[in-house]
A and B are shown apart, each in its own frame.
Chain A
Amino acid sequence: MRFLPRRRRLVAGLLLAPLLTGCFASEGGEESSGGGGGSRLRVAMAFPPAENFNPYGADATLLSRLGVTEGLTRLDANGAATPALAESWSRENDRGWLFTLRDAAFQDGTEVTPKAVAAALTRAAGAEPVTAALSGVELTAEAAGERRVRVTTADPDPALPLRLSSPGLVVLSAEAYAEKGAVSPVGTATGPFELTKVTGTTAATLDRFDDYWGGRAQFSGVDARFIADGTARTNALRTGGVDVAEAVPVSQVTSLDEVTRRETATTRTTSLLLNTEKGAFKDPKARAAAREAINTSALAKGVYEGHADPGVGIYGPALTWAADKRVKPTGRAGAAAVDGTSVTVATYDNRPELPEVAQVLKQQLENAGFTVKLEVREYSRLESDALAGKFDAFVSARNTMLDTGDPVSILASDYTCKGSYNLALLCDRSVDKAVAEAEKVTDTAERQDAAMTAEAAILGTDAVVPLVHQRIITGVGAAVSGVQLDPYERGLVGVGTRR
């Protein structure tokens, strides 16, 4: 019984070495292919593709941020629908819209025809589970002549052009749907960059699409890496491993130079939702007391280190129209005196700031006389309990523009009796009425007015206390410019992004 001779062990080691190299990840694309000019952009993305780049799920946003896919319309800075693949559109009748297509090509070389667009929209409408923008909407699309597509909905939908800007309603070529049960955006979309290679959930390689209708992109391609950990993402930028890092966490901001930080107000609002159905906050006066106890600017400054705006309403400053149209809430109850009422405040730790927000809230509420117990869990372990009303209050960060691009839809889903995501369990007749009114309005400006009226009605019930409006911080290497800083978080890399 002896040890293996040393030499034999060494040889075994050498033989193993090439085997082991297979266990390293492959680099996401080689440096600068050079052909056609321009260098490649390296991007660190925050969310890895969850469903293999299925365009009907959350990965749709990822594809749209990387400049791969686009739909018929897109949102401009004011939240209005502007042309993308559709040049123009008009409303035919209550239920029907007519979209005129522009001259564009798919990345596989085929032309964007009304037939292809109608087929793509029909596919999206029939997806299981249905894409978020079409939830509760029955949509049919058909070709209408040489350049036009007719889109009809079962119920009148004044916000259809906004809805069609959703990243989930992308237009892909017929090839994308060739395989049964899976939709592949690899080389079948219409954006300025073409997805060429996907390395699991760690990296993706994109090349420039030279025939893009909006002109040739400056970069010859994009190497995207998916780095879920915020500190790691920031480190990638600091070591020069990437040119652009998405969503730098607040705790890491000071480690970046001023010139590399780009701050954008987003439509994401962190708010405290109070349980209006049972528990201590069933009483509007207790809710009013909670609202008065909370100091939102302490949160914006103390927890978000100034990289957020104090809460003013459900819609934040990212929606440029909201501030001018804001209506003062009416019918608020007077605050009751609180003496040791105990409440449970729940939140989730998937966003690292939320537990900190909850702890500051705890102190503020306790100063006002409440006794507060915190409950912090991973989001999926918390949600069903929250929706069932097991907590008195819930701190949540919610994107107020959702996938529909329509400001009214969040009010309907979050604050009406039938809402599917009504964490405050609010069921108030005047709120329901105001939201229903807003849903009927077609004109963008009037729809926004109606949304603000509904917002005032909701704030009047004190079911929700807006805490802060978050800003997203994108780390951009000093040499890079033209990164899209989109408040709706749908764009990042575009034609004009350059070094």
Chain B
Amino acid sequence: MLKAVLRGGAPVLLWRAALVAALLCGVGLLPWLSRTDPALTVLRARSAERAPTPEVLDAIRTQLGLDAGPLKLLGDWFGGLLHGDAGRSWISGAEVTPSVLQALGVSLLLMGGSLAVAVLTAGAVCARTLRLGAGRRPDGRRSAGTGSALLSALPDFLTASVLAAVVGVQLGWLPALGWYGPQWMVLPALSLGLPAGALLGRMLDDLLPGAFAEQWALAAAARGVPGRSIARQALRRCVPGLLPNFGLFVVGLTGGAVAVEQVFDIPGLGRLTLQAAVAQDLPVLQAGTLALVLLAAIAGGAARLTARLLIGPALRDGALLSLHRPTPPRPTTLPLLYGGLLLAVVALGLARDPLRLDTTARLQSPSWAHPFGTDGLGRDVLARVGHGALSTLALALAVSATALVLGVLLGLLPRVSGPLVDTVNAVPPVLAALLVTGVAGSGPSTPALAVTAVAWAPLAAHTSALLQQERATTHLTATRALGAGPLQLLRHELLPAVLPPVVRHALLRLPGVALALAALGFLGLGAQPPSPEWGLLLSENQPYAERAPWAVLAPAAALALLGAVAVTGGGGVRWPRRVSCARRRDSGDTGETGDAEAYANTEAEATWAEPPDPAHPIRPEGVTSDA
């Protein structure tokens, strides 16, 4: 069992330790990498008004011992760490350990609540598939997943603002502010848990039909095993593929809930590390990052352990089946509908002026003159949504595609990427941006680099989880026995099985990428006002969410629509010829392999009905034996 946690033994452990050390050193060198004077940023965190005279800056440098240089500071910090002392905050002079532990506790609790919400949401998203599967009616029309796609594209700060204003303030049902007891947890947990749950639910829903179509399920149904038990086993079959991503959410929600913490005034780790990163309060930043990295290692280990508990024997014996959908996801006209709607909005918006402001007509509700209303400066929201579409989408698509390639490539090497995924995922996004800026300078491509640097991690985790299962399938054993080489296996068996769900996952994360890109604006990276980039639209209109909801809802709806197009389009559009074109272009973007035959293979295996291949011997006992 322990072996499962420490998969790979000493080299992997060493690699993990090296990564953590490198990260902490990177944090320790941050001001010197980015050439931003820590004395100045610390002064600003202490006092917004104080003139930065040389005397004041010198006094701060002496106080913090900055003149000794980064290496000495780092050495001292590591030395103190051995005695359990993480130093004192550069801003407040207070001890770091208690404040980080306190914030970590708060954040873990918030994360726990959010995950509970996420699990319920994911359950609701898959409920239909589970019910149909349990009733052995897999042919029943599956839901297109629009609802969950819309939900997963909801920015958490928007949900948080709306919940705080409506449920907390206007209805007064639940406290809108603070962190004093369980009832204070409900609203923040909802804002964080709903999108996360929708994403996990979509991924699960993607795998379930395959599990229901496996031989054991048919056999069990034929023998009269109740549908409920079959559904439970199907879940058990599919959940391991999601566990690594679940583990990533554990860490991401603990350290990255900044917006929600701000809206609800929760003293969590996200805000603490953000403030420390901006002020370059290195001891706090290092301790916060260390806490998150440790949490990531624990979460990753726990995810592997659980996967082993659930399908361990089957993995060991190579007795799994490839999770292929029994029927193609019915190509629908939905993506055309959503895509058309989005295009129409963009086209209408493009005909208008997104920059002309008129402060006498601010925050006007939707009318014929302004179909989506006006924003805080009296600009037409429709025009801004339309004009922002191109730049937002182009950049987000490029980043997502790069992240997909990176994720799949690194996902193929789980021993290398596993620890890397855990470490990268534990880095708060702002810190990642600062580190990337430090290394790459603050050019126009920096925000894209910074987001790509973290966006590949969930995709890699997903890839390697699916790959692990796929490697343990019976048909692979057979193919290997027939003399296929590793490369051939990869190209014709592994990738075709793994790629489609990962691509759909990447598409699902597209709106999130667009938001992440905009969130770096305050560091002077990325789009600057008055550009109508969607993420910027959301953040600049957030203060008016209650007075002029249309100004935030319009870009949020556009993002959600984009998510819906991606998800429903992932299942195919009604005309098959169209599908293959779209697919080829898609894979062309990712540059996965250069072989048309492989794509044909991908498509056939992923989207078309595939009767169990007689060449693949089937051993159903692997999964069902200890039911």
Which residues of A come within 8 Å of B, CB atoms?
A: 1-3, 20-27, 49-52, 54, 57-58, 128-130, 132, 135-136, 182, 200-202, 225, 227-232, 235-236, 238-239, 241, 249, 251-252, 254-255, 298-299, 301-303, 349-350, 352, 355-356, 358-360, 362-363, 374-384, 387, 398-399, 402-403, 413, 420-421
Contacts and interface: CB of A to CB of B under 8 A. Distances in A.
A399 B91 CA distance: 23
Contacts of A413: 51
B497 interface: no
Contacts of A227: 177, 265
A361 to B, nearest CB: 11
A378 B523 contact: yes
- Give the most central of A20, A24, A132, A350: most B CB within 10 Å: A24
A402 B161 CA distance: 35
B106 A421 contact: no
B52 A50 contact: no
Given A58-B46, A251-B376, A251-B543, A380 B40 contact: yes
Interface of B: 36-37, 40-41, 44-53, 55-56, 59-60, 62-63, 91-94, 99, 102, 105-106, 108-109, 112, 161, 164-165, 168-169, 172, 175-181, 184, 262-265, 267, 278-279, 309-310, 312-313, 355-357, 359-360, 362, 376-378, 521-524, 528-530, 540, 543-544, 546-547, 626
Given A232-B264, A380-B44, A380-B278, A52 B359 contact: no
A51 B93 contact: yes
B517 to A, nearest CB: 15
Contact of B359 (A202, A251, A252, A298): A298
A135 B262 contact: no
A47 to B, nearest CB: 8
B265 A23 contact: no
Given A132-B47, A359-B530, A380-B278, A232 B263 contact: yes
Contacts of A355: 529, 540
Given A23-B108, A235-B169, A229 B265 contact: yes
B529 A350 contact: no
A352 B91 contact: no
B530 A128 contact: no
Contacts of B543: 230-231, 249, 251-252, 352
Given A1-B626, A58-B47, 7 more contacts: A2-B626, A24-B109, A24-B180, A229-B263, A302-B359, A362-B530, A420-B53
Contact of A378 (B161, B181, B522): B522
A13 B337 CA distance: 47
Contacts of A303: 359, 377
- Give the most central of A2, A57, A232: most B CB within 10 Å: A232
Nearest to A16: B112
B377 A235 contact: no
A303 B379 CA distance: 13
B168 A202 contact: no
A202 B102 CA distance: 12
A200 B51 contact: no
A380 B376 contact: no
A57 B177 contact: no
A52 B265 contact: no
Contact of B168 (A235, A375, A382): A235
A421 B51 contact: yes
B46 to A, nearest CB: 5
A409 to B, nearest CB: 10
27 contacts: A1-B310, A3-B309, A23-B106, A25-B179, A25-B180, A25-B267, A50-B46, A50-B92, A51-B93, A58-B47, A132-B51, A200-B99, A232-B176, A232-B265, A235-B177, A251-B376, A355-B540, A358-B529, A359-B377, A363-B355, A363-B357, A376-B529, A381-B524, A383-B44, A384-B37, A399-B49, A421-B52
B449 to A, nearest CB: 18
A426 to B, nearest CB: 15
Given A24-B184, A350-B48, A376-B521, A255 B547 contact: yes
A234 to B, nearest CB: 9
Given A23-B108, A58-B48, A58-B50, A302 B362 contact: yes
A382 B278 CA distance: 12
A238 B546 CA distance: 13
Contacts of A129: 55-56, 59-60, 63
A129 to B, nearest CB: 3
B547 A254 contact: yes
Nearest to A385: B524
Given A129-B59, A255-B547, A383 B529 contact: no
Contact of B522 (A26, A50, A377): A377
B121 to A, nearest CB: 20
Contacts of B184: 24
A201 B267 contact: yes
B271 to A, nearest CB: 8
A227 B547 CA distance: 21
A378 B310 CA distance: 48
Given A129-B56, A380-B279, A374 B528 contact: yes
Contacts of A51: 46, 91-93
A403 B47 CA distance: 12
Contacts of B362: 302
Contacts of A49: 92
A359 B377 CA distance: 8
A228 B262 contact: yes
Nearest to B360: A302
Q: Which 4 A-B pairs have the closest CB atoms?
A: A302-B359, A129-B59, A58-B47, A23-B105
Contacts of A349: 522
B177 A232 contact: yes
A225 B37 CA distance: 32
A235 B46 contact: no
A50 B177 contact: no
Nearest to B104: A23
A25 B180 CA distance: 5
A362 B359 CA distance: 13
B524 A50 contact: no
A20 B529 CA distance: 43
A236 B547 CA distance: 17
A474 to B, nearest CB: 18
B169 A1 contact: no
A229 B524 contact: no
A345 to B, nearest CB: 11
A350 B164 CA distance: 22
Given A135-B55, A239-B177, A229 B262 contact: yes
Contacts of B181: 21, 24
Given A200-B99, A356-B377, A382-B524, A239 B278 contact: no
Contacts of B177: 227, 232, 235-236, 239, 241
A302 to B, nearest CB: 2
B493 to A, nearest CB: 27
Contact of A383 (B40, B45, B46, B60): B40
Given A1-B626, A359-B530, A383-B52, A24 B91 contact: no
Given A50-B91, A355-B540, A22 B46 contact: no
Nearest to B185: A24
A280 B208 CA distance: 64
Contacts of B93: 51-52, 54, 182
Contact of A239 (B40, B51, B91, B168): B168
Nearest to B379: A359
A352 B541 CA distance: 11
A226 B290 CA distance: 27
Nearest to B170: A238
Contacts of A382: 524
B544 to A, nearest CB: 6
Contacts of B180: 24-27
B165 A235 contact: yes
Nearest to A199: B267
Contacts of A200: 99, 102, 267
- Give the most central of B37, B63, B543: most A CB within 10 Å: B543
